[in-house]
Amino acid sequence: MSRRPPRPDRAPVTPVKLSKDEVAFVRGLVIYQDPHVVALNKPSGLSSQGGRGQGHTLDELLWAFAKPGKARPRLIHRLDRDTSGVILTARTKPAAGFLGKAMMDRRIAKTYRAIVTPGAPEPGAGVVDAPLRRDEQGREAYMRVCPADHPDAETASSRYRTLAEAPGAALLELHPETGRMHQLRVHLASLGRPIAGDARYGGALVVGGQPVPRLMLHAAVLIFPHPSGGEMRIEAPVPPDMAGLIAGLGLG
């Protein structure tokens, strides 16, 4: 799940040097671009920003789109490292300001797909309104459902709808109304329907006898007001690993 939008005016002073393979890789993720925005289909395993791994983050890879002497595109929002799907960037400072404000005003709509276990939630569609708080454990950060009067409580709301179900699993469509860290993951776990592959929040690592290769959460659709006017809809196809599990479980 996406976290709070990063500040769009923050950009490294010194460009990150990328290899030819890295440039080709990130350019291959583009699903839409124009003079104002670039939308990419982020793969699972790639940190949006601030990752602790050895490789570059997506934020650093965006230098592949920078013109000489200019800043790279700016991330408008983030996706968790193991979540795949649509992520939006702004090419210019005015576009970043416009989209950042749209994000804060909740004018950007996100649709996710998720495989959950051990079956569909009851009821099959609804809204989870459960405040969340951050819980630090060593170097790891978790989000926990908490009472609304907790001093660290942040409001959080998620809509869900069951698309398909099979013995031991279900495919859900999700719409986060707020953008808290790990929001969808924690809200579904609070229903007793954690996302498959989500070891952090109790997700199954094997479903229907099939190993789950990663967190089965995909940002499928992003609808946003375009800086030049009108509304735009960007869709990212479900990646092969998740599509294979959906087919193998009889969910699609």
Active-site residues, by number, are 80
- Name the burial class of residue 35, with classes exposed (0-12), middle (13-18) and buried (19+) by CB atoms within 10 angstroms of its CB: exposed
Integer Cα distance of 30 and 10 in angstroms: 22
DSSP for residue 154:
B
Integer Cα distance of 77 and 49 in angstroms: 10
Integer Cα distance of 1 and 110 in angstroms: 10
Tokens for 48, please give them: 């949006």
Instruction: With beta carbons less than 8 A apart as the criterion, state whether 246 and 239 touch.
Output: no
